[in-house]
């Protein structure tokens, strides 16, 4: 009789446990969960060695899916929570001993969010893709290609090893990468771009109006910058070891060229404006017209 007295309470507790599990696990072995959003969404996501793709949808939820691919779910720990319209998600590989022989693919994390989103995203060793977002984006990857497109707002990117593709950004950009070719285009109001080892191609699309001092810099590689003819800026161009070519009409302030000091070009585009510096330590600088 004593056991039967507590049975209804125990059954009630067990009734809730399977529901919590099913909400984050589908029949095909993918981990997935949706978070309802009522206002401006914010997301903090970290995926370790897994690749990450964040894109917008016509929805009022943040939906996260983990495709384990060739890995076992038990090798990873998922930590997630929601507080109001903020969602935090972390995928982390558990420490284990032993040697894995053979080729295997790391998991892939796919996120669909409302278009308006403040995003902090980090991968350690995996590709990072973000597209269709409007908001403040802080992105970091230690070893993997980066593809960012169709973004409006503010983008800050740090990448250590991998090609960088940033396309159709409207707003401001801070990008720092250390090993890989970087291709960037957008309608910018300000930008700070640095590539340590690799070619750098930057295009300021028609309609760009710089409202703050900007700098485009390469440490070891050629730099090509394409500018609209209507852009107003005070141009400061320098290369330590290479040539300078400028196809745009420029009101010269000065040109210095020496064996030890490299080449320096200064002048006004369209009567001048905010400073725009274009520098490289080792390579040619080419300024082209759209």
Q: Where are the domains of the chain?
A: 28-96+107-138, 163-290
**pLDDT tens by residue, 117-149:** 999 999 998 899 999 999 999 999 988 789 999
pLDDT attached to residue 16: 37
pLDDT attached to residue 149: 98
- In angstroms, the CA 166 to CA 116 distance is 19
pLDDT attached to residue 252: 79
Average pLDDT, the chain: 87
Give this prediction's pTM: 0.85
pLDDT attached to residue 96: 66
Q: What is the dihedral of CA 32, 38, 41, 42, to 10 degrees?
A: -70
Q: Which residues pair with 194 in a beta bridge?
A: 176, 217
pLDDT attached to residue 98: 52
Low pLDDT (below 70) residues in the chain: 1-28, 96-103, 254-261
Structure tokens given for 100: 């894995």
- In angstroms, the CA 37 to CA 231 distance is 40
Residue showing tokens 């903090």 = 44
Beta pairing, strands 262-269 & 233-239: antiparallel
b (16+ CB within 10 A) / e for 247-280: ebebeeeeeeeeeeebbbbbbbbeeebeebbbbb
N- to C-terminal Cα separation, the chain: 86
Cα angle: 86, vertex 160, 167; to 5 degrees: 65
Question: CB within 8 A of 23, min separation 6: which ones?
Answer: 33
pLDDT attached to residue 22: 34
pLDDT attached to residue 221: 85
């Amino acid at each position: 009789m004593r056991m039967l007295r507590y049975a209804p309470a125990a059954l009630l507790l067990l009734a809730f446990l399977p529901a919590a599990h099913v909400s984050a696990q589908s029949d095909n072995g993918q981990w997935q969960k949706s978070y309802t959003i009522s206002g401006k969404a914010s997301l903090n996501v970290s995926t370790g060695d897994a690749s990450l793709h964040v894109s917008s949808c016509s929805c009022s939820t943040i939906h996260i899916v983990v495709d384990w691919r060739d890995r076992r779910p038990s090798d990873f720990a998922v930590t997630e929570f929601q507080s109001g319209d903020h969602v935090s998600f972390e995928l982390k590989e558990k420490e284990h001993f032993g040697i894995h022989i053979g080729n295997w693919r790391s998991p892939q994390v796919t996120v669909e969010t409302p278009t308006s989103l403040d995003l902090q995203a980090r991968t350690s060793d995996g590709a990072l893709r973000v597209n269709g977002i409007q908001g403040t984006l802080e992105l970091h990857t230690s070893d993997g290609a980066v593809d960012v497109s169709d973004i409006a707002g503010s983008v800050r990117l740090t990448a250590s090893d991998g090609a960088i593709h940033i396309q159709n950004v409207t707003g401001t950009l801070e990008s720092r990468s250390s090993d890989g070719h970087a291709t960037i285009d957008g309608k910018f109001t300000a930008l700070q771009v640095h590539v340590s080892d690799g070619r750098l191609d930057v295009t300021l699309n028609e309609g760009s109006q710089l409202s703050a001092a900007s700098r485009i810099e390469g440490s070891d590689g050629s730099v090509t910058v394409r500018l609209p003819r209507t852009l107003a800026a005070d141009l400061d161009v320098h290369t330590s070891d290479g040539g300078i070519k400028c196809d745009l009409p420029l009101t010269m302030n000065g040109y210095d060229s020496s064996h030890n000091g490299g080449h320096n070009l200064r002048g006004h585009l369209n009567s001048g404006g905010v400073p725009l510096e274009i520098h490289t330590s080792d390579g040619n600088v080419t300024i082209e017209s759209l």
